[in-house]
Amino acid sequence: DVTSDIYPILKAKHFITEKLTDSALDLLSTKYRTKKSFLFDFTTLHMFVVTVRCNQKCVYCHASSVNEENRIYDMNTETAEKTIDICLNSAAKSIKIEFQGGEPLLNFEIVRFVIDNASKKAVQNGKTVDFVLCSNLTAITDDMLKYLADNNVSLSTSLDGPAHVHDFNRYYRNGTGTYESVIRALNRAKKYLPSDKISALMTTTKYSLKFPHEIIDEYVTQGFKSIFVRMLNPFGFAKQNMLDIGYTASDFSRFYKDLLQYVISINVKGYFLEEAFASLLLTRILTPFSTGFVDMQFPAGTGISGVIYGHDGNVYPSDEARMLAQMGDNNFCMGNVNTNTYRELFKGKLIQDLVGSTCAESLPGCSDCVFQLYCGIDPIRNYATQYDIIGHRPSSEFCYIQKDIIKHLFDFILKNNSEHMDVFWSWLTGRHISEIVSHNSP
C-alpha cells in the first residue's frame, strides 16, 4: 500500500523501489560493497604464538598450554623473522600483530624482537602496524610495561569476574587462584598505559552462569569501559573438562540476556560499559559497515582476515585451527613459514576450500535465514563439533546462540525504548550516553 506510513520508510531504506533504475542498483551495490569491505583488506590480523608455555592451567584453556619449563615450545628468532616477512607480504596496508600463547610474557625477548623488526620493516614496506599483547599479566614487570608503553602496544587480558569466579576458572599450575595477581598487575599497567590500551574479556563456565551481575560489577569496579562475553570453545582443556564446566546453548543464552540487560541499566545510570559482542552485532544491524571481527563474517575470516603462526612456524587459518593441531588434528595447517612462500600459504587449496564453503548466501540453513546478513560462520568449530566444515544448522549450538541473541537485539530495536537505543548508539559511536540525542526525544 503506497499510502501506508511504512511505505516511504521502506523506500528510503532501499527495501523497495517504484522502478529498477541504475541509481537504485548503485545505492544497493555500494551498501553491499561496504558490508564486504573486509575482502579488500586481505589478512589484516596476524597472530604470533611466541610460546605454548604458560604459568597457569586454566580450567578451560583452549590452547592446551604446556609447563613453563618446556622451552622447546618457544618461537626462535629465525622463525620469528620469517613470520614477520610473510606477515608484511599481506596486501593489507594496515596490519595488526597479536601476541598469543601459552603466556607470551614467558618469551618476551621474541615479543621485543618482533615489535622492533616488524616496526622497521613495515615502514620500509609502506605499511602501518599495530601490536596487541594477549596476556594473563601475572608475569609482567615494570620494564616490560615501559617497553610496551614506549611502543604503543595494547594489552588484552582475561578477567572472569570477582575473585571467587575468576579463581574457579583461572589458576596457577599449583592450583592457587590468580585473581589477586591479575588485579595487582592491572593497577601497575594503568600507571604506564592509557585506559583505552587495556582491555579484558571473560570466558563463561557453568559456575559463571550464576553470577552475571557480579561479573559486570567487577568490570565496573576495575574501571573497564568494555567487556567481551564469550562462551566456551570446544578445544584443549575445555573439551576435557566439559562435563564439569559446560552448559547448554539455552543456558548460555539466558545468562547472556540477563547480563546484557544489567549492562544496559548501568549505562542508563551514567557509566559507559560496552558489551563488545552485542556492539559487533549492532554494528552489522544498524550500520552498513563490516566489523572486521573474523568470527562474524562470510566468507569466513579464516585465513582471509586473520591467520595464526605457531611457535614452530606452522600456519593456521584461525586460532581454533591451531587449537585443533595442539590436540593432534593437523588437517587445517596451511604450511610453514620456514618452507613455504606467501603465495603457497595464502593461495593454496585449503584457503580456497574454506572460502568456497563459507559463503552463507549459498549454504543450507543460512541461505534462507532471516538473520543471515548479521551472522557469521566458523568452519573450524563446525568441523570440531559436527565433523564437517559446513555444519548442520538445526543441531548447531553456535547457530542457536547466534540467532537467539540477534533476535533479542531486534526485540530491543522493535520496542524502540529511547534509553535502550541511546545506549546502543553510544556504543556504536564511542560516546557517553549523555552525548546521544535520542530519536524519540521531544
Question: What would the pLDDT profile of 11-31 be if each residue is shown by its tens digit?
Answer: 887 788 877 778 778 877 887
Q: Which of 302, 344, 272 is nearest to 42 (CA)?
A: 302
Classified as helix, coil or strand, 122 is helix
pLDDT at 313 over 60: yes
Residue 441's pLDDT band (cuts 50, 70, 90): very low
Neighbours of 55 (CB within 10 A): 20
Classified as helix, coil or strand, 130 is strand
Classified as helix, coil or strand, 230 is strand
Residues in contact with 230: Cβ distance below 8 Å, sequence separation at least 6, in sequence order: 201, 202, 203, 204, 277
- The residue with greater pLDDT, 6 or 338, is 338
Residue type, 409: L
The reported pLDDT for the residue numbered 24 is 77
pLDDT at 332 over 80: yes
pLDDT at 222 over 90: yes
CATH architecture of structural domain 42-346: Alpha-Beta Barrel (3.20)
Residue 442's pLDDT band (cuts 50, 70, 90): very low
How far the first Cα of the chain sits from its last, in Å, is 29
pLDDT at 314 over 90: yes
Point out the least confidently predicted range of 104-113, 129-138, 359-368. 359-368
Please compute the mean of the pLDDT values over residues 35-58 and round it to a whole number. 86
Please compute the mean of the pLDDT values over residues 318-331 and round it to a whole number. 89
Residue 438's pLDDT band (cuts 50, 70, 90): low
Question: What would the pLDDT profile of 253-263 be if each residue is shown by its tens digit?
Answer: 999 999 999 99
Please compute the mean of the pLDDT values over residues 74-95 and round it to a whole number. 95
Residues in contact with 194: Cβ distance below 8 Å, sequence separation at least 6, in sequence order: none
The reported pLDDT for the residue numbered 70 is 86
- The residue with greater pLDDT, 274 or 386, is 274
Residue recorded with cell 563474517:
297
pLDDT at 392 over 70: yes
Q: In degrees rounded to 5, what are phi and psi of residue 72?
A: -65, -15
pLDDT at 68 over 50: yes
The Cα–Cα gap between 331 and 129 comes to 30
Q: Which of 139, 120, 150, 127 is nearest to 44 (CA)?
A: 127
β-pairing, 274-275 vs 226-230, is: parallel
Question: What would the pLDDT profile of 409-430 be if each residue is shown by its tens digit?
Answer: 999 999 999 999 999 999 999 8
The sign one gets for the Cα dihedral 348, 351, 356, 357 is: positive
β-pairing, 154-158 vs 128-134, is: parallel
Please report the DSSP string for 296-352 in residue order: S-SS--BTTTEEEE-TTSEEESSHHHHHHHHTT--TT--EETTT--HHHHHSSHHHH
The Cα–Cα gap between 208 and 251 comes to 11
**Cα 290 off chain centre by:** 14
pLDDT at 171 over 50: yes
Please compute the mean of the pLDDT values over residues 59-81 and round it to a whole number. 90
pLDDT at 144 over 60: yes
Please compute the mean of the pLDDT values over residues 182-203 and round it to a whole number. 96
pLDDT at 439 over 80: no
The reported pLDDT for the residue numbered 240 is 86
